[in-house]
Amino acid sequence: MGIYVSDHRPAGYAYLLEKLRIVGMPNWHRSMVSTTGTHFSKIQDGFVDEVYRPQYWPGETVGDHLEFALKYDGVNLALLARIFEKASAEALTEYIMSKPTGKYARRIWFFFEFLTEKQLPIGDMTIGNYVDALERKYYYTLQNGERSPRHRIVNNLLGPRAFCPVVRKTDKLLELDSTVLRERSEEIVTAYPPQLLRRALSYLYNKETKSSFEIEQVKSNASRTEKFIASLELAEQEDFCEKRRLIELQNRIVDPRFADSDYRLSQNYVGQTVAYQKELIHYICPKPEDLPALMEGLIACHDRMKAGGVPPVIHAAVIAYGFVFLHPFEDGNGRIHRFLIHNILSLRQMVPRGLMFPISAVMLKHPEDYDRSLEAFSRPLLQVLDYKLDEMGIMTVEGESAPWYSYMDMTFQAEALSEFIRKTIEEELVQELNFLANYDATKKAIQEIIDMPDRLIDLFIQLCLQGDGNLSARKRSSHFDFLSDEELVAMEQAVKDSYMQV
């Protein structure tokens, strides 16, 4: 990716990374300034390369390009954290004091002290209006952030310093707004009788559990399946996003031999063996020594968003994907990640009461989309981490890596989850409810032909659907030899009338 040519100079983050010799994960927007020519941009795979006219050149200082970055490249906390490590505090102080009431200078000042936990030698602001740390027009933020009188900034960030992702308001996210998705699910639910919805809930719990285990190609036994379903039932009423509850949940859904009593103490990664003593690394998890602070930050971020009116889908995406990227346990992280989606959507009343969204079933049907939602973070992360792998497959990550996990841009993950929820509501949920409605109609029609046990009715419908509406001669002789030809034809027609209408 890129449109670099000789008459284009990097600006904003691109300039700062080059000047300060920082290797960073790519920002969604990269700026160049042309010495000649016109303004144009190139968009590919969600990344934007934009070239500005010469008059946009901000200057030569770090402060100049930080302001340009906040204006045109957006807020990237991970890159800012790296830049503040390398930039001269004296130069930053001089730049901020040259524009004491400027909103971008104040944001640079606030972000520096928020990210570094160091104070610049600048006196507290005493004049000027408060401005938001993140502009609400472009980012999902807390509705009522806390005021920082020192900077006269409203801290409306989604999380605390230890874990503070950013989600941008893209056209796709605005189109798939939580309110719109909730209203659509309500419309669908009102089309079905309450008794059918009550029956559907048990079926959906089972489907979600089976799909979640199947995504990871894990064979679940009856005990673990029942425990996962029981947890899903509790997800409507109880908040699982706290350390004790997460550990309890992990213990329920994994083999007892791999149950954890705390967050993991070893460096782990996701990979596959491609040859003897040769691993293909797909994802590198945070260092175990960084996990306590990261997980404490994630839980605080959850509480902050829950109280701060962040839309439910954004909230669920940040916490659920954040959890799986932090990978705090040796086993069960993926299942807990998908469980947290249900937990948060239920707590935030995104799901109509008495129902659940089988989102894992949609993820299972669209594995490429699900993989892309994970790889959008995992692939670029591999480019910025230094690690060693010994002959026993034990990994050592070198250098500081926590900021990449603390300050993720989770816009892509929020978009992916929004799309999974849309498909769940409009496709998966409708199909499952229609199937049950059709079953009721078929069962009633069959009972009018012959009064036989429910077990045999279920088997007849299942075998007929497998045979495109017809019962094979072998299956008839094995299970239904008591039926007359007239009864068989009428029952097959009942199945076709309910399930195979064009």
pLDDT in tens, 325-363: 999 999 999 999 999 999 999 999 999 887 889 999 999
pLDDT value at 272 more than 80: no
pLDDT value at 3 more than 60: no
Helix (H, G, I), strand (E, B) or coil at 139: strand
For 31, 63, 288, the CA distances from 15, given in Å and listed in that order, are 9, 11, 33
**Average pLDDT over every residue of 206-211:** 90
**Average pLDDT over every residue of 77-88:** 96
What 8-state DSSP symbol labels residue 257? G
pLDDT value at 247 more than 90: yes
What 8-state DSSP symbol labels residue 409? B
Residue in 479, 9, 417, 422 with CA at minimum distance from that of residue 188: 422
CA distance 340 to 336: 6
Torsion over CA of 105, 109, 114 and 116, rounded to 10 degrees? 130
CA distance 393 to 175: 45
Report the percentage of the chain scoring pLDDT > 90: 71
For 24, 80, 130, 290, 291, the CA distances from 295, given in Å and listed in that order, are 23, 21, 31, 9, 6
In terms of C-beta density within 10 A (0-12 exposed, 13-18 middle, 19 or more buried), how is residue 495 classed? buried
What is residue 274's predicted lDDT score, i.e. its pLDDT?
Answer: 46
pLDDT value at 163 more than 60: yes
Matching residue, tokens 């002789």: 477
What is residue 434's predicted lDDT score, i.e. its pLDDT?
Answer: 86
Residue 346 phi/psi, 5-degree rounding, is -70, -45
Under the banding of pLDDT at 50, 70 and 90, the label for residue 6 is low
pTM attached to this predicted model: 0.90
Q: What is the pLDDT of residues 13-61, one digit of tens each?
A: 999 999 999 999 999 999 999 988 778 889 888 889 999 999 999 999 9
- Higher local confidence (pLDDT), 100 or 118: 118
Q: What is the pLDDT of residues 273-290, one digit of tens each?
A: 544 456 688 999 999 999
Report the percentage of the chain scoring pLDDT > 70: 97
CA distance 115 to 74: 16
**Average pLDDT over every residue of 386-410:** 92
Q: Rounded mean pLDDT of the chain?
A: 91
